[in-house]
A and B are shown apart, each in its own frame.
Chain A
Amino acid sequence: QKLVSFPWFGMDIGGTLVKLVYFEPKDITAEEEQEEVENLKSIRRYLTSNTAYGKTGVRDVHLELRNLSICGRTGTLHFIRFPTAAMHRFIQMGRDKNFSSLHTMLCATGGGAYKFESDFRTMADLELLKLDELDCLIHGLLYVDSVGFNGHPECYYFENPSDTQHCVKRPCSLDNPFPMLLVNIGSGVSILAVYSKDNYKRVTGTSLGGGTFLGLCCLLTGCETFEEALEMASKGDSTNVDKLVRDIYGGDYQRFGLQGSAVASSFGHMMSKEKRDTISKEDLARATLVTITNNIGSIARMCAVNEKIERVVFVGNFLRINTVSTKLLAYAMDFWSKGQLRALFLEHEGYFGAVGAFMELLKSSEEP
């Protein structure tokens, strides 16, 4: 078996974030190490000895998959992300490290694989193997789920989603995953109905996604990062911003079975100047988060019903460190479907595209 030469990467260049997976072989023999060229070593050392790269690159250490056996090699899969805005610096680094001399293939997916293709070529003399992002997403997801998360299940759900007191995260298996509705929440949202590994369709999408949450939060509160926005949202109260059913009807709207606590109009209170003048940034951030999350939940639920699929899997980096949204989605699926639908989540939220691209790299190595 002829293996593709190291380093092994998989890259997903999205609208906001670049997701990179890197396989660190742990079974390098002494002989192999001697033959290894210097810049390959230096890349490995750089990536594995740091957890942050430049100002904005981050390695999600808690996500790394250890003792992974792939194509006869054993090692650790590392998960790294940095903003798409830093893409040119990244390409420059590839040139500085003389990446092209390593004669490896660079597998990339996401829109940026197309957008930056010529930059890779002209700036770093690198050829990208461009891959479809939805293919990669599904392949990556199925792979990570099959190998598990260092001995634990990759997948989880919330027990008692409609009861905030007793809502608990529970691991589960995705043994028989098809059909599933796959909701990928990145900058925007894509919703896929997946019937098998290679049989799926994109049902719809919405432009109200993670980018909208962050974009609106930046405009409304002056925050600059996703982390900052989420931090504010966690402290805020959206009912100061949103108009609830009870604000209009005094209580439940029984005729239509709407609870008084349901949101009737997102940002509805903000029509009034008095309310606008007294509102906190935290409340605005929370309302933005709730609005976007509920809307995604609503569209996903309608798609699930239309496609007659009961399992709804939410992925994408919008859900990173975002328990407000995951719990809200779990609640929305359960409540509005009267228990018919179940929301499932995956620990590696936004990295499946990159994993899928990485697997494509290995696939090519199996062929002579």
Chain B
Amino acid sequence: MATPGGTDRASHSLDKSITLPPDEIFRNLENAKRFAIDIGGSLTKLAYYSTVQHKVAKVRSFDHTAKGDGEPLYEISVQEEITARLHFIKFENTYIETCLDFIKDHLVNTETKVIKATGGGAHKFKDLIEKKLKLKVDKEDEMTCLIKGCNFVLRNIPHEAFVYAKHADSEFRFQNTHPDIFPYLLVNIGSGVSIVKVESEDKYERIGGSSIGGGTFWGLGALLTKTKRFDELLQLASKGQHTNVDMLVKDIYGGAYGSLGLTGDLIASSFGKSATADKEFSKEDMAKSLLHMISNDIGQLACLYARLHNLTRVYFGGFFIRGHPVTMHTITYSINFFTKGEVQALFLRHEGYLGAIGAFLKGAEEDNPNQYSWGENYAGSSGLMSVSPDLNPMQRARSGTFDMLEMDRLERQLVNLPLLQDPSSYIPDTVDLTEDALAREYWLYCFEEALDGVVKRAVASQRDQPEAAERAEKFRQKYRHKLQTLRHQPFAYGSLTVRSLLDTREHCLNEFNFPDPYSKIKQRENDMALKYYQKVVKSLEELSWDQRQFALVRGLLAGNVFDWGAKAVSDVLESDPEFGFEQAKHQLQDNSGMDIILGVFPFVRELLIRGTEVVLASNSGPALNDVTNSELQIVTERIAAMDPVIQAAVKEDRLTLVQSGSSSPCLDLSRLDKVLATVVRERSTDLVVIEGMGRAIHTNYYAMLSCESLKLAVIKNSWLAERLGGKIFSVVFKYEVPSKTQGQY
């Protein structure tokens, strides 16, 4: 049963005089509209929709009919763009009045008339909210909100769900986003337990429940141990020995009950020893016994319902769970025991926000939020905090005080690449840094080392703006803080990967209005490369077929050397601006400029000549010096103007430019622009070429496609090269044919 409850976490230990930095917390309030609030027993979750104005670098083609030599190919202008963002803030009920005051003072939008509310505390605080905010409180059903929120996070947040393994190398094992999230079972452990079967966005049913839940642990625990608070009870439990209180199988049998396969350590009767022995029991032991009793009972019922309804995905939530390692562990244990490992207990990173998200979505139905894809903004979100006792107390107190989640509305819907062999098992990332401690150490160090360079580059990209240096400094602090957080809590945003580290950096750069630090470099390189284009094409044409194929591939790979993201390369590029394509070719071993114009285009041209249709996919938004779709449009126009092969192909639709939907140096093939997926399907694409270290090595190295594929990149990192058994500037050229046995047809 979803009922009020909560943890009033840290309220006793927290210094109440702590001054709130609400401007860091309630961001973008001035544009906020549509509020929702979920008030639990001790925590309030506030949701609002807002718009963020931030700078974007736009490229615009010059009129080239009258252009003189030496003029740049296109102009770059920085424009203001408005994007939609969802803000979710979690804080203790103690702060509710302060927070409401702050919101009132900063709220500009007067169109907002109502606030959607859910949770047991909504009733209690109704008058306060209406008085403070002058908004009408509109109550929504708790369970409906919970399910709506759950569907939303499962669909939109990669690595939302995880399996908890206390003794494993990484406590949190994040799950892939399954293309179809339904059906699933949600076991909500509030004061009681509700077991809900969810079959589709709008179809769910409460198939069962139990009165033995978080309230039983808390209520009975308080009676037994004279300990008032839920957290303290959990703490007691984590220190106790249940075997002093429980009657085990071995207490009855002297050992195991072998014929039934019941081990001696199994609990035969919870609290069984407290009935026979005339002695005192410690608080810790009783709390532990109680925790086991309740967790096992809930796990057993969940399994019985899962079996009856033939469901294998079972998510657990509610205040009993809410990120507490102790309860996640006992529930996981119970599920493993009762299903013999057939069902895994799944938990959610944003479990505490589900009600608020759902209530918000209920109020925002006219905006059709489910039509869009959303992405977690790493810069604005707190991430999952471990409540492990090892964490320093200040950090823990802080994490219990304010927690934030921000989701950006993406301009396009993201879907799976239709050519993925098995979308449900596709993992974009090659190395999971959450599990690989050595790799994690290395990459965190690497990103920290590269930070100075990125800051320098960011400032350089906005020389005309005097405050750029100050913003860049803020960026440095924010990103460094993120890196530090990830060092201690690698699981904060799901599995830590090179991709997530890169994406976090992009999000932080955007946050401080550095939309595209490389725009000018890209512009210069594109300009330069275009001058060489005809020369390159001509020299290729003079080669024999065999030689040409080889040269084309060398060209593709040579272009890939120009990667500002790779430290080894950026060092060279910084020190030697004349470092040219010819040198790169000799260095051998998707970036803008050399890569796209002198590497990719000649290759595309060759394909077109042999009658192959080509779809050229590029990033929707900027990331490092990777070419963006809008830049590519202009580049293609210019090449078409000097190359009849390209021109004809564009005209006849044999060469199509599509954006990928990504704004990352890496590529998640399960989140691609829907248009690209449609084109891939319509054109019956039968070869996929993925180029670049980010897209073909850090991600997709092991991706299995249902058609032929070619993954190529230059390893521009000596550590990675060594790991893969090669040297820096080694080449990866991976041609794969789908295995017949695995294909469906």
Interface residues of A (CB under 8 A from B): 14-16, 83-85, 110-112, 114-117, 132, 134, 186-188, 202, 204, 206-212, 214-220, 224, 241-243, 245, 248, 255-256, 258, 262-271, 273, 276, 284, 291, 294-295, 298-299, 302-303, 305-306
> Contacts A243-B3, A270-B219, A295-B297 known; A111 to B213 CB distance under 8 Å?
no
- Closest residue of chain A to B289 (Cβ to Cβ) is A215
Q: Is the CB of B470 closer than 8 A to any CB of chain A? A: no
B206 touches A16 (CB 8 A): no
* Cα(A306)–Cα(B224), bound, Å: 35
Shortest CB distance A27–B (Å): 38
Q: Is the CB of B267 closer than 8 A to any CB of chain A? A: yes
> A217 to chain B: which residues have CB within 8 Å?
275
Shortest CB distance A44–B (Å): 30
* Cα(A291)–Cα(B304), bound, Å: 19
B1 touches A219 (CB 8 A): no
A15 touches B268 (CB 8 A): yes
Q: Besides A219-B271, A255-B143, A273-B228, 13 other CB < 8 A contacts?
A: A15-B252, A114-B254, A115-B254, A117-B254, A187-B269, A207-B267, A212-B270, A220-B224, A243-B191, A243-B215, A302-B208, A305-B308, A306-B308
B270 touches A208 (CB 8 A): yes
Q: Which of A15, A186, A243, A248 contacts B251 (CB 8 A)?
A: A15
* Cα(A285)–Cα(B120), bound, Å: 28
Shortest CB distance A48–B (Å): 29
Q: Which of B141, B219, B268 contacts A271 (CB 8 A)?
A: B219
> B218 to chain A: which residues have CB within 8 Å?
267, 270-271
Q: Is the CB of B223 closer than 8 A to any CB of chain A? A: yes
A206 touches B300 (CB 8 A): yes
- Closest residue of chain A to B213 (Cβ to Cβ) is A265
Q: Is the CB of B118 closer than 8 A to any CB of chain A? A: no
Shortest CB distance A223–B (Å): 10
* Cα(A276)–Cα(B218), bound, Å: 12
* Cα(A245)–Cα(B206), bound, Å: 15
> B247 to chain A: which residues have CB within 8 Å?
15, 187-188, 211
B293 touches A208 (CB 8 A): yes
- Interface pairs (16), CB distance under 8 Å: A85-B276, A112-B252, A134-B260, A206-B300, A207-B296, A208-B293, A212-B272, A215-B273, A219-B224, A243-B191, A263-B192, A265-B1, A265-B190, A265-B191, A291-B211, A298-B210
A111 touches B254 (CB 8 A): yes
Q: Which of B3, B272, B293, B301 contacts A264 (CB 8 A)?
A: B3
> B220 to chain A: which residues have CB within 8 Å?
216, 266-267, 270
* Cα(A241)–Cα(B141), bound, Å: 26
Q: Is the CB of B286 closer than 8 A to any CB of chain A? A: yes
* Cα(A268)–Cα(B278), bound, Å: 28
A212 touches B215 (CB 8 A): no
- Closest residue of chain B to A225 (Cβ to Cβ) is B275
- Closest residue of chain B to A270 (Cβ to Cβ) is B219
Shortest CB distance A258–B (Å): 8
B304 touches A284 (CB 8 A): no
> Contacts A208-B270, A248-B3 known; A268 to B300 CB distance under 8 Å?
no
Q: Which of B141, B208, B211, B245 contacts A266 (CB 8 A)?
A: B211
> B260 to chain A: which residues have CB within 8 Å?
134, 202
- Closest residue of chain B to A302 (Cβ to Cβ) is B304
B219 touches A267 (CB 8 A): yes
Q: Is the CB of B255 closer than 8 A to any CB of chain A? A: yes
Chain B 253-309 residues near chain A, CB threshold 8 A: 253-255, 257, 259-260, 267-276, 278, 281, 286, 293, 296-297, 300-301, 304-305, 307-308
The residue in B1, B214, B260 that gathers the most chain A C-beta atoms within 10 A of its C-beta is: B1
A269 touches B219 (CB 8 A): yes
A14 touches B252 (CB 8 A): yes
A211 touches B275 (CB 8 A): yes
- Closest residue of chain A to B5 (Cβ to Cβ) is A271
Q: Which of B211, B228, B252, B272 contacts A215 (CB 8 A)?
A: B272
Q: Is the CB of B608 closer than 8 A to any CB of chain A? A: no
* B612-630 to A contact mask, C-beta < 8 Å, 1/0: 0000000000000000000
> A15 to chain B: which residues have CB within 8 Å?
247, 251-252, 268-269, 272
> B293 to chain A: which residues have CB within 8 Å?
207-208, 212
> Contacts A15-B252, A248-B1, A299-B300 known; A215 to B215 CB distance under 8 Å?
no
Q: Is the CB of B216 closer than 8 A to any CB of chain A? A: yes
* Cα(A255)–Cα(B140), bound, Å: 13
B272 touches A187 (CB 8 A): yes
> A255 to chain B: which residues have CB within 8 Å?
141, 143
A215 touches B270 (CB 8 A): yes
- Closest residue of chain B to A220 (Cβ to Cβ) is B223
* Cα(A305)–Cα(B297), bound, Å: 18
> B286 to chain A: which residues have CB within 8 Å?
219
B3 touches A207 (CB 8 A): no
B269 touches A276 (CB 8 A): no
A16 touches B223 (CB 8 A): no
B215 touches A271 (CB 8 A): yes
The residue in B3, B120, B270 that gathers the most chain A C-beta atoms within 10 A of its C-beta is: B270
A256 touches B206 (CB 8 A): yes
Q: Which of A116, A206, A211, A241 contacts B297 (CB 8 A)?
A: A206
> A284 to chain B: which residues have CB within 8 Å?
223
> Contacts A211-B275, A299-B304 known; A265 to B216 CB distance under 8 Å?
yes
The residue in A132, A212, A220, A265 that gathers the most chain B C-beta atoms within 10 A of its C-beta is: A265
B269 touches A268 (CB 8 A): no
* Cα(A211)–Cα(B248), bound, Å: 11
- Closest residue of chain A to B267 (Cβ to Cβ) is A207
Shortest CB distance B141–A (Å): 7
B296 touches A270 (CB 8 A): no
Q: Which of B212, B255, B304 contacts A295 (CB 8 A)?
A: B212
Q: Which of A85, A220, A264, A270 contacts B211 (CB 8 A)?
A: A264
> A299 to chain B: which residues have CB within 8 Å?
300-301, 304
Q: Which of A114, A188, A265 contacts B268 (CB 8 A)?
A: A188
Q: Is the CB of B338 closer than 8 A to any CB of chain A? A: yes
Q: Is the CB of B249 closer than 8 A to any CB of chain A? A: yes
* Cα(A220)–Cα(B216), bound, Å: 14
* B211-250 to A contact mask, C-beta < 8 Å, 1/0: 1111110111011100010000000000000000111010
- Closest residue of chain A to B266 (Cβ to Cβ) is A207
> B222 to chain A: which residues have CB within 8 Å?
270-271, 273, 276
The residue in A15, A115, A241 that gathers the most chain B C-beta atoms within 10 A of its C-beta is: A15
B268 touches A207 (CB 8 A): yes
> A215 to chain B: which residues have CB within 8 Å?
245, 269-275
* Cα(A298)–Cα(B297), bound, Å: 11
* Cα(A16)–Cα(B308), bound, Å: 34
* Cα(A264)–Cα(B278), bound, Å: 33
> Contacts A256-B206, A298-B301 known; A263 to B211 CB distance under 8 Å?
yes
Shortest CB distance A283–B (Å): 11
Shortest CB distance A210–B (Å): 8
The residue in A15, A206, A215, A299 that gathers the most chain B C-beta atoms within 10 A of its C-beta is: A215
Q: Which of B212, B300, B308 contacts A204 (CB 8 A)?
A: B300
A276 touches B223 (CB 8 A): yes
B272 touches A188 (CB 8 A): yes
A306 touches B307 (CB 8 A): yes
> A117 to chain B: which residues have CB within 8 Å?
254
> B271 to chain A: which residues have CB within 8 Å?
211-212, 215-216, 219
